[in-house]
Each structure stands twice: as C-alpha cells, then as structure tokens.
Chains A and B, each alone.
Chain A
C-alpha cells in the first residue's frame, strides 16, 4: 500500500470469528482498523472519529445494517461503505446504496476480493487521476490505446479478450485476484461456474506472457486466485 498515511477503516460486524479474522487481515493489508460489534457502537465510533471507509454487516444484533448506513448518511458521514451480507437476495435498498457509490459482498467471501473491493471504493472516492495510456509492470508493457502488449520489447500476440484480462492483472499487479473477481471485472458476470473456465484463460495467457525462458510473471495461488508479480 503506497499511502502517505494508513487508511482508517471502521468494521461493524457482530460475529467474533469473522471480526477477528477481518481485523487481522485488514491490519496486515495496511489499514488502521476500528471495530464495533453492533450498530450503536458503530454509530458512536463513526461520529467520534473520521474514517475513510466502512465495512458494515447487514445482520447486526440491535439494528439492520442498512438503517445504520442511512442514519450515518443523515449525520453527514459520507465515507464509502462495503456492505457484507449473508442474505440471499439483494434488497432494493442495497441496490440504492450501490448506485450511490457503495458496494456489497456476499458471505462467504475471499479476503482478496474484499480487499479489491475496498481499493475500488477508495479509488472511486478519490477523484480519478487522468487515465494512463500505458501500463508497466516490470518488463511487461501495455499500450492501452493501441491495445498492444509487449514483454522486454517483444510484442505479444493477444486476442482482445486476453488483452483485457492482462490489463486487469496489471492494474492489480502484486495483489491477489480471485476467479470471481476476474469473471466480474473482465467478463462482467457474477457467476460461479463449476468448471475451470477462468483457469484455462489464465493458462493460455500465461503461455504467451511467460513463454519459455522468461521469468514467470503470472502466479497461481491455489485456493485463492492469481497474482501478477511486480517484484
């Protein structure tokens, strides 16, 4: 995390095990984490301190998470919220919040995905910098305008789809991306195929990017996802 000062995050989650795990993982990821076990404590912490982002579970013991979010908004707290939900259907009010710039994640989730969504929310909040036209990761270079990729100056022959996939990996270089994140962000689908469709795409891409003799850039983290090496 290349932030000048750590991002301050408020986690409102009542289940102790998930709370502990999230706090540990978020702290490891460089966030300064405050924790509340119910809506009341959450509201108190949120109004006493300035937070950059919230993670709020919908099923809180004393109150609905949505009600808490709406009240925080009324109190002028406008940091983005990542909503955690163990419910099945996404409530219309959640859709409303999603439209308002917040995001939601269904339980159970992969930590990598949660971190990616937090980054997205923070990036959305900060005024987006002028879009780069070139991406560079080590010796891999992507020309976003001409949709061309090269490694060590050697042009890679990629299909348009492979280019989009590589672009997504590059934008998240050094960070783990899960299969469902790839499906969501590259193909625009929130699906969970019971087949290895994403793996085959990565396998093909790897065949082109990490051709024999080169240092492999795309790593598979089994059970988690993929990561594009940036060191």
Chain B
C-alpha cells in the first residue's frame, strides 16, 4: 500500500469510526477489569485473613495450654509447622526465598521467645516492633530485606507473651500477576480483532454509500436513465439508495415532460414555418418584381430569425432546467477559437474592431460540438453587436488545474449597471440592445450544462469581462454518441478547414 492509499484510508470515515469504537471498547473493558481485579484481590485477602485469624487462635490456645518446659518450643513449633501446610493456594518456595509462613512468639518483655521459619527471626521481630500496635485483626507487615510483605495476625497468651502468625502475600501477588498478564494478552487480542472487525464492516457499509455517491454523480452528469445500486437488505443504506432512485424517477419524469413539451412546441411551430418558408422561396424563384422580391427576402430573413429565436429559447429553457441533451466529444478549444476568430475577424475589422487571441496549446474539453459552436458564436455576435468602433477584444485561453479558462475582455462601454447583476437571465438586455436578450443566457446555460461556470463583470479600466471555466477532457468516457459525432465532424471540408487554418 502506498503512502497515498494509507493517507486516504486515514482520512476515511471508516477509519475514524473504527478508531473511536476501538478506543471506547478498550477503555470500557479496562475499567471492568480494574473492578474485577480489585474484587478478586480483596476476596483473596479476606480468605487469608480468615485463615490467619483461625490459625492464630488455635495456636494461642495451644501455646496457653502447653506447659512451659523444654518441650514447649517443639510442640508449638510443630503445630505452627502443621498449620503452615494448610495455607490456601500455597506454592512451593523457591530456593533463596523466605518461606511463605512464619510463627513468632514474644515473651512478656518483648524479646523473641519462639521462632518457627527461615533464619533467626530477628528481622521479623524488629519489623513487628516498629509496626503500629497490632490489633486483633490481621494487618500488613513489611520486613526489611524481604520484598514481599506479610500479612500477620496476633493473639496474646495468658502469661503476657504474644504470638504472631505471618503469611507471605507472595502467592496472592503471584496469582494476581498471572491474572493481569493473561487479561492483558486477551484484552490486546480482542481489541485488535474488534478494531479490525469494526473497520472492515464500516468500510464495507460506507463502500456502499460511496458506490451510491459515485453512481449518483455519474447520473447527474451524463444520463438520467441509470439508477444507483440497491442491495437486498432493507437497512438505512438500502433505504438511501431507494430514496435516491425514487427521486431520480421523478426528475427523469419531469425532464421527460419538459422534453415532450419543447419537442412538440418545436414541431408544431416548425412545420408551419417550413410551409411558409417554402411558399416564400417559391414566390422568390418565380421571378417577382424588384419591390416584391425585397419584401420576400426580408420575410425569409425574419422567418429564419424566428426559427433561431425558437431554437435558442427552447435550449435556454431546457438548460435552465438542467435538461439539455448533450452529445459530447473531445473538442480542442484552441483550434475552435482560432476557426471562430478566422470566421469573425473580417466582420470585426469591417466594424473597426480588433480581436486578439492568446492561446498556446491544445486545450481539450468534453463537450457537445453543436452547442459549443453556437455558444462561442453567441459570445462573438454579442461583442460584434454591442461594441463601438475601434474597440479591442482580447481573448485568452489557458488550461489550469483541470479547467479550461476562457477569458474575454473588451474595452467597450461594459455592461449597463442596471443589468449587470442579472446578465445571464433570459430577456435581460442592455437599454440600447435590439437583440432578444437570450445570447448570454444561452451562453451561461451551455457552460452550466457542461459542468462549468461563468462570471461577468465590468473591468475597472472600463469594458466588459467574461470568464468561462470548463472542465478539461479527462480521457474517453463510455457514451454511445461519441463515435458518431466524431464521424460527423470529420467531413472532408472540416479537414480542409484544419489544413487551411494551419498552413
């Protein structure tokens, strides 16, 4: 896995979710264990205390009854020895360690009277003397040079002497250490396993979500007929998918309705327009008188303008509803602009306008050629119609960050301030304009349909400024119309054009 993939993983929601879930799980189990540990250690202590109390009582009894003769030490020592064998959980002492149990009796003056255990017991007696006065209940005792503390219980014998029975906490500690060690091992294994499981399941689940997102965005930019993938389970994600699909059904339906309306409107208007145009043409070829011919020609021109207006209005209407039908191919914007400048340059210089194109290389975008051509023609027509003589139009094309940036600037009067804010709306036109007010609305519609954006502003130094951003072509995509539109585009005359514009 490359560091890039690792970074993406660490930024993913699945990673965050599993991290937090693991943390919560680990802390929770740790708290439970701490309580369990305390409970166990207290219980062990309670048991050994009970044993100690019982034994010391027995020993006290024995010590009291046994006559204080030479045999006393042996009898009591024997009993203590026996008692030590009954220690609960007793482990065999390892060499070099003190025994787990000792018995000590002090005389009335506090000196050592009897000792059963390792060594001579002086250190133990010393520890007992220094420890707080021993009550009847068992207490902890730390003996110098012995790491593990003892638990001791004591009882006083009738003659003023005292007996002490000590039990090392060694076994208890070892038991708890074992417990801790095993728990930590098990805990680590469970946490790692749990984290992996949570990560895997959330990633799978979020993978479905990502699949839906990808499918939905694909649908948004190409066709409305496909649907996001659904799963058989009826969980939240499946519900999300089916909700999206229902929404898409509705959108597709309204777009279909819109298409039906625009198509039938276009059809119902075009058929009579065709008939009218045919009649006018017939009249014109029939050799009319000069003044009649003039009105026939004007009528035909008007009719063509109406047709163009009809097409543009319907395109803008569809585009405003994000329902333009696109047949995309890869188009070199640089070459297209050069051809357009070639086409418009004579008309511009006729009107005293200058046009400059700054563009370096191929800038390929994925666009509908018909719409794109008409869009750029609209921009140029707009300049041609609204600029006063001796203005300059500067066009700059460049590609940056996956976007084709087309900048159009002129040094004319700029947009009228009263319309500047609504420049891309239908029917909005400057006070002196005699157009339909569709030109820039159409341009904006086409740009938007191609996933781009457009900004219009007046330049500080005077004149208008339009900035179009269109996504660059990112490799061929699967669309059925591509090859056909390409075929339509490679007509012999188009080739002639290419060779002509690049001598």
Residues of chain A having any CB pair with chain B under 8 Å? 15, 17-18, 21-22, 24-25, 59, 86-90, 92, 95-96, 98-99, 106-111, 160-161, 163-164, 167-168, 183-197, 200-201, 203-204, 222-224
Q: Tell whether A99 pairs with B307 under 8 Å between CB atoms, given A89-B259, A111-B278, A191-B377.
A: no
CB distance B347 to A196 under 8 Å? Answer: yes
Minimal beta-carbon separation of B360 from chain A (angstroms): 21
B279 in the interface (beta carbon within 8 A): yes
CB distance A99 to B488 under 8 Å? Answer: yes
Q: Tell whether A95 pairs with B271 under 8 Å between CB atoms, given A88-B314, A168-B493, A187-B339.
A: no
- A194, A197, A200 — which one has the most chain B CB atoms within 10 A of its CB? A194
CB distance A188 to B346 under 8 Å? Answer: no
CB distance B370 to A161 under 8 Å? Answer: no
B277 in the interface (beta carbon within 8 A): yes
Q: Which residues of B contact A223 (CB under 8 A)?
A: 280-281, 284, 296-301
In the bound complex, what is the Cα–Cα distance between A197 and B378 (angstroms)? 12
Q: Which residues of A contact B218 (CB under 8 A)?
A: none
CB distance A188 to B263 under 8 Å? Answer: no
In the bound complex, what is the Cα–Cα distance between A86 and B342 (angstroms)? 32
CB distance A164 to B496 under 8 Å? Answer: yes
Q: Which of A15, A21, A22, A188 contacts B497, CB < 8 Å? A: A188
Q: Which residue of A lies closest to B483 (CB)?
A: A99
Q: Which residues of A contact B342 (CB under 8 A)?
A: 161, 187
B494 in the interface (beta carbon within 8 A): yes
In the bound complex, what is the Cα–Cα distance between A201 and B275 (angstroms)? 31
CB distance A200 to B488 under 8 Å? Answer: no
CB distance B263 to A197 under 8 Å? Answer: no
Minimal beta-carbon separation of B423 from chain A (angstroms): 18
Q: Which of B270, B300, B380 contacts A86, CB < 8 Å? A: B270
Q: Which residues of A contact B263 (CB under 8 A)?
A: 87-89
- B276, B380, B484 — which one has the most chain A CB atoms within 10 A of its CB? B484
CB distance A108 to B377 under 8 Å? Answer: no
- A25, A167, A191 — which one has the most chain B CB atoms within 10 A of its CB? A191
In the bound complex, what is the Cα–Cα distance between A183 and B493 (angstroms)? 10
B204 in the interface (beta carbon within 8 A): no
Q: Which residues of B contact A183 (CB under 8 A)?
A: 343
Q: Which residues of A contact B126 (CB under 8 A)?
A: none
Q: Which residue of B lies closest to A58 (CB)?
A: B267
- B293, B299, B308, B488 — which one has the most chain A CB atoms within 10 A of its CB? B488
Q: Which residues of B contact A163 (CB under 8 A)?
A: 500
Q: Which residue of B lies closest to A202 (CB)?
A: B346
CB distance B311 to A88 under 8 Å? Answer: yes
Q: Which residues of B contact A111 (CB under 8 A)?
A: 278, 281
CB distance A192 to B308 under 8 Å? Answer: yes
In the bound complex, what is the Cα–Cα distance between A104 and B435 (angstroms)? 29
CB distance B275 to A15 under 8 Å? Answer: yes
CB distance A99 to B493 under 8 Å? Answer: no
In the bound complex, what is the Cα–Cα distance between A68 and B50 (angstroms)? 106
Q: Tell whether A204 pairs with B281 under 8 Å between CB atoms, given A108-B303, A160-B503, A188-B494.
A: no
In the bound complex, what is the Cα–Cα distance between A191 and B273 (angstroms)? 19
B144 in the interface (beta carbon within 8 A): no
Q: Which residues of B contact A87 (CB under 8 A)?
A: 263, 266-267
Q: Which of B282-304 contact A (CB under 8 A)?
A: 282, 284, 293-294, 296-301, 303-304
Q: Which of B384, B481, B500 contacts A164, CB < 8 Å? A: B500
Q: Which residues of A contact B320 (CB under 8 A)?
A: none
Q: Which residues of A contact B303 (CB under 8 A)?
A: 108
Minimal beta-carbon separation of A227 from chain B (angstroms): 12
CB distance B377 to A193 under 8 Å? Answer: yes
CB distance A86 to B266 under 8 Å? Answer: yes
Q: A108-B273, A192-B311 are in contact. List 19 more A-B contacts (CB 8 A).
A: A18-B278, A21-B278, A87-B266, A88-B263, A89-B259, A92-B480, A99-B487, A107-B270, A110-B277, A164-B497, A168-B493, A186-B496, A187-B497, A189-B339, A189-B373, A192-B307, A197-B344, A197-B347, A224-B284
CB distance B496 to A167 under 8 Å? Answer: yes
B501 in the interface (beta carbon within 8 A): yes
In the bound complex, what is the Cα–Cα distance between A111 and B286 (angstroms)? 14
- Give B363-379 as 1s and 0s: 1 = Cβ < 8 Å from A's Cβ atoms: 00000001001100100
In the bound complex, what is the Cα–Cα distance between A18 and B279 (angstroms)? 9
Q: Which residues of A contact B259 (CB under 8 A)?
A: 89
B68 in the interface (beta carbon within 8 A): no
CB distance B284 to A17 under 8 Å? Answer: no
Q: Which residues of B contact A90 (CB under 8 A)?
A: 327
B485 in the interface (beta carbon within 8 A): yes
B491 in the interface (beta carbon within 8 A): yes
In the bound complex, what is the Cα–Cα distance between A223 and B301 (angstroms)? 6
- Give B466-503 as 1s and 0s: 1 = Cβ < 8 Å from A's Cβ atoms: 00000000000000110111011101011011011101
9 tightest CB-CB pairs across the interface, nearest first? A223-B297, A21-B278, A188-B494, A160-B500, A86-B270, A108-B274, A223-B300, A17-B275, A95-B484
CB distance B481 to A95 under 8 Å? Answer: yes
Can you spell out 11 A-B residue pairs with CB atoms less than 8 angstroms apart?
A87-B263, A95-B481, A108-B274, A160-B500, A160-B501, A163-B500, A189-B343, A191-B374, A195-B380, A224-B281, A224-B284
Q: Which residue of B lies closest to A94 (CB)?
A: B484
Minimal beta-carbon separation of B344 from chain A (angstroms): 6
CB distance A110 to B493 under 8 Å? Answer: no
In the bound complex, what is the Cα–Cα distance between A107 and B311 (angstroms)? 11
- Give B316-353 as 1s and 0s: 1 = Cβ < 8 Å from A's Cβ atoms: 00000000010100000000000110111011001000
Q: Which residues of A contact B503 (CB under 8 A)?
A: 160
B262 in the interface (beta carbon within 8 A): yes
CB distance B497 to A222 under 8 Å? Answer: no
Q: Which residue of A lies closest to B373 (CB)?
A: A189
Q: Which residues of A contact B480 (CB under 8 A)?
A: 92
Q: Which of B279, B311, B350, B380 contacts A21, CB < 8 Å? A: B279
Q: Which residues of B contact A99 (CB under 8 A)?
A: 483-484, 487-488
In the bound complex, what is the Cα–Cα distance between A89 and B485 (angstroms)? 14
Q: Which of A184, A197, A204 contacts B343, CB < 8 Å? A: A197
CB distance A95 to B485 under 8 Å? Answer: yes
Q: Which of A15, A98, A185, A224 contacts B488, CB < 8 Å? A: A98
Q: Which residues of A contact B293 (CB under 8 A)?
A: 222
CB distance A185 to B493 under 8 Å? Answer: yes
Q: Tell whether A17 pairs with B501 under 8 Å between CB atoms, given A164-B496, A188-B493.
A: no
